[in-house]
Amino acid sequence: NGKGTGMVGYNVQAVVDAEHHLVVAHEMTNEGHDRSQLTNMTRQAKHAMAADDLKVLADRGYFSSEEILGCEQAGATPYVPRPLTSGAKADGRFGKQDFIYIREQDAYRCPAGEVFARRMTTVERNLTLHRYWNLSSCRSFALKPQCTPAKERRVTRWEHEDVIEAMQHRLDREPHAMRVRRQTVEHVFGTLKAWMGATHFKTRRLPNVAAEMSLQVLAYNLKRTIAIVGVRPLMAAIQG
């Protein structure tokens, strides 16, 4: 699960087109999470579809700042909501979204209207992070208990944070995007699970399970294509 514990199993990655519900790319992994898969699957889908640009809709499990940047660099437009993991919000305090970035000043405005200047830059896990705070204003802020239990509230900004902010603006403008995702890929997984039964995979070891999944995807795509264009046009396309 990304925290050092989990169970032995297989993780199916699949990209499904929203128009015809065909699986355009898939891959089998044995990682217990999806956070490192967004760029890889985006590239596979773009290659399979020969597409110059794609809208990529994924659930919260795929949220990774680096992967979202990689997805954009691959020529796609990602839509991935943030995980609901803010400790401050869970404790009833102001979250990072309550602090407004002022691009012209490279500073943040806090809920009290005070300006947090950039104070330092660090590199953590290969990410360049800028830290912002304002010690003097935090000391006199009447709502400080609602903001932080520390001496001052600090805001962290990744060097490519503008990519994440632009994606959040897209999600705010297009709230239906996640509904489209659910109606697209969840339908495919539900169908495949129903076909495969409660035990899902009959084989073991990653190469064998990957081959088994490929056969399931092939069968699914054939049935979908027959439903869309019919048997004769499909046979003509295969032969010609």
228 and 220 Cβ atoms separated by less than 8 Å: no
101 and 157 Cβ atoms separated by less than 8 Å: yes
The predicted pLDDT at position 112 comes to 86
Q: Of the candidates 114, 143, 159, which is a domain's last residue?
A: 159
Indicate which CATH number applies to the domain containing 205.
3.30.420
Summarised one tens digit per residue, pLDDT across range 60-104 is 999 999 999 999 999 999 999 998 766 666 667 888 888 999 999
Residue 153 lies in a domain: yes
Residue 154 lies in a domain: yes
What is the pLDDT averaged over residues 159-187? 95
26 pLDDT tier (thresholds 50, 70, 90): very high
114 and 105 Cβ atoms separated by less than 8 Å: no
Give percent of the chain with pLDDT exceeding 70: 94
What is the pLDDT averaged over residues 118-122? 95
What is the pLDDT averaged over residues 104-124? 93
Residue 101 lies in a domain: yes
Residues 71 and 102 reside in one and the same domain? no
What is the pLDDT averaged over residues 165-189? 94
Residue 1 lies in a domain: no
Strand partners, 27: 13
Residue 2 lies in a domain: no
The predicted pLDDT at position 5 comes to 65
Residue 58 lies in a domain: yes
Residues 101 and 63 reside in one and the same domain? no
Give the domain extent around 132.
87-159
Residues 74 and 24 reside in one and the same domain? yes
Q: Of the candidates 159, 181, 215, which is a domain's last residue?
A: 159
11 vs 31: CA distance, rounded Å = 6
Residues 91 and 154 reside in one and the same domain? yes
Specify the range with the lowest mean pLDDT, choosing from 97-111, 137-151, 174-188. Answer: 137-151
Residue 4 lies in a domain: no
Residues 115 and 73 reside in one and the same domain? no
pTM for this predicted structure: 0.87
Residues 229 and 173 reside in one and the same domain? yes
Residues 185 and 155 reside in one and the same domain? no
Q: Of the candidates 122, 143, 159, which is a domain's last residue?
A: 159
Residues 35 and 57 reside in one and the same domain? yes
What is the pLDDT averaged over residues 142-165? 88
Q: Which residues of 162-175 are buried (b: 16+ CB within 10 A; e: fewer)?
A: ebbeebeeebeeee
| Distance (Å) of CA 232 to CA 70, 84, 226, 229 | 41, 49, 9, 8
Q: Which of 181, 159, 161 is nearest to 171 (CA)?
A: 181
Residues 25 and 68 reside in one and the same domain? yes
Residues 182 and 129 reside in one and the same domain? no
Residue 67 lies in a domain: yes
The predicted pLDDT at position 115 comes to 92
Residues 153 and 172 reside in one and the same domain? no
Residues 78 and 36 reside in one and the same domain? yes
What is the pLDDT averaged over residues 123-139? 90
Q: How many domains does the chain have?
A: 2
